Amino acid sequence: TSITSAKIQVNGVHLHYQQTGEGSHAVLLLPGMLGSGQTDFGPQLKSMNKQLFTIVAWDPRGYGQSIPPSRDFPPDFFERDAKDAVDLMQALKFKKFSLLGWSDGGITALIAAAKYPTLIHKLVVWGANASVTQEDVRIYNGIRDVSKWSEKVKKPLEEMYGHKYFAQTCEAWVDGISRFAEKSDGNICQQLLPDIKCPTFIIHGEKDPLVPQAHAEYIHKHIKGSR
């Protein structure tokens, strides 16, 4: 089945999404920092089972083709993304759906699953964290300057955004996510994890250069019955 690409107005912004498959199980794919449905989930859009699943990949506001507006990082940007994501799926007339989120999209998915439990069927997250430590801030500052990124990672994002928007948005992201570390517990969504009731699968790469493994272990420990 082909992949359709469209925009729909949600919460005052025009969100871009791609959709494919005709299965009864709806799944939303949530990209990471600076990512879009196409850059982060090209292989899944192509290869996931189209008979079992209806697959939607979205570009959060300010990312991918969901510009304008330009991306910003107010203190509640993860909650805003979670509401946008859920409202997008409801605007597309899905009554219940699963979430597959990676990195920032994983954090967004955790918040959505906790806050909208009746809408979320199952949850898979990878490379996600529920808090920000001083060590994390040090790691984030290491990626602040995009000119130091590897060509492989940098090229698709530069092609999508142009150098200026890409560089400025990355810096703004580092500042935005580092602000969580100013709280005593560095909390992003730790208090919400016990509210997640749907079946949850946590994946983590042992060599993840951006998210230390302790974050995945914390999430697993605080979501009852997660694997």
Question: What pLDDT, in 10s, does the model give residues 135-193?
Answer: 999 999 999 999 999 999 999 999 999 999 999 999 999 999 999 999 989 999 999 99
Q: What tokens does 65 get?
A: 């083709």
For residue 85, give the nearest of 140, 144, 16, 164 by alpha carbon: 16
CB 100 within 8 A of CB 187: no
For the segment 96-143, what is each residue's pLDDT rounded down to a tens digit?
999 999 999 999 999 999 999 999 999 999 999 999 999 999 999 999
Fold of 3-130+188-222: Rossmann fold (3.40.50)
Q: How far apart are the first and last CA of the chain?
A: 32
Cα gap 149→170, rounded to integer Å: 11
Percent of the chain exceeding pLDDT 90 equals 99
Measure the CA dihedral 179/182/209/207, to 10°: -130
